[in-house]
């Protein structure tokens, strides 16, 4: 009888842990779109950059140097971990220029991700929230608002114009959200 109870309780506890962890990222996902990407509905939609900065522990500009996929919360849920080399700290004191931060996102290429996964080699303006996880995972970050805090650098246009104030484009804008779809580095802190 004891082994049957353990067999039932363990999956329930694991499922509960994953649902709590997912709640930190966002609430709910919708069915995958035709291209195979998924969309996500979030608990909070942001009215402006100031509120996004306020909800973030740190805001950085950095390049994704490398990625790995792990199942470190439970054996069936993939997370993509992106190692981001920090070129500039826009807000917050949790990291410094030259640091590498690990950005944790739900999903992988093999497991449908509810939001767009960062791409290796690309430069982003990222609004990040400390993971709140235990042990070695405590030093990792989630994107604030699951996808609200991802702005990809439009390098080609800026390089052609010789801009010293790079332009970033929101990766996955949400309907009814008031965040700008484009932002210059100079306006990233609100």
- Can you tell me the distance from the alpha carbon of 53 to that of 49, in angstroms, rounded to the nearest whole number? 6
The string of DSSP codes covering 157-177 is: HHHHHT-SS-EEEESS--TT-
pLDDT in tens, 10-32: 333 344 444 334 434 443 333 33
Where exactly are the structural domains of the chain? 2-187
pLDDT for the residue 42? 58
Which pLDDT score is estimated for 64?
98
Closest CA to 82 of 121, 112, 53: 121
Which residues of the chain are modeled with pLDDT < 50? 1-39, 160
Look at residue 59 in the predicted model and tell me its pLDDT.
98
pLDDT at position 77 = 94
CB 33 within 8 A of CB 97: no
pLDDT of residue 84: 98
Residues forming a β-bridge with 61: 88, 125
pTM of the complete model: 0.77
pLDDT of 30 reads 33
* Answer CATH for 2-187 from 2.40.30.30, 2.60.120.260, 2.40.50.120, 1.50.10.10: 2.40.50.120
Per-residue pLDDT at 114: 86
Secondary structure element (H or E) that encloses residue 14, with its range: helix 2-25
For residue 119, the 8-state DSSP code is -
Element (H, E) at 53: helix 49-54
Question: DSSP for 15-31?
Answer: HHHHHHHHHHH-S-B-P
38-52 tens-digit pLDDT: 445 556 788 899 999
């Amino acid at each position: 009888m004891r082994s049957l109870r353990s067999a039932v309780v363990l999956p329930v506890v694991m499922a509960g842990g994953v649902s709590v962890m997912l709640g930190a990222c966002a609430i709910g996902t919708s069915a995958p779109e035709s291209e195979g990407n998924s969309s996500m509905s979030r608990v909070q939609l942001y009215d402006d950059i100031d509120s996004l900065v306020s909800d973030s522990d740190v805001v950085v500009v950095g390049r994704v140097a490398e990625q790995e996929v792990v199942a470190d919360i439970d054996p069936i849920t993939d997370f993509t971990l992106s190692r981001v080399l920090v070129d500039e700290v826009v807000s917050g004191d949790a990291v410094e220029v030259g640091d590498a931060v690990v950005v944790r996102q739900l999903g992988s290429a093999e497991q449908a991700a509810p939001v767009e996964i960062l791409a290796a080699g690309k430069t982003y303006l990222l609004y990040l929230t400390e993971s709140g996880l235990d042990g070695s995972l405590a030093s990792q970050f989630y994107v604030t608002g699951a996808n609200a805090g991802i702005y990809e650098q439009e390098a080609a246009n800026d390089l052609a114009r010789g801009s010293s104030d790079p332009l970033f484009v929101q990766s996955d804008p949400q309907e009814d959200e008031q965040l700008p779809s484009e932002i210059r580095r100079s306006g990233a802190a609100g």
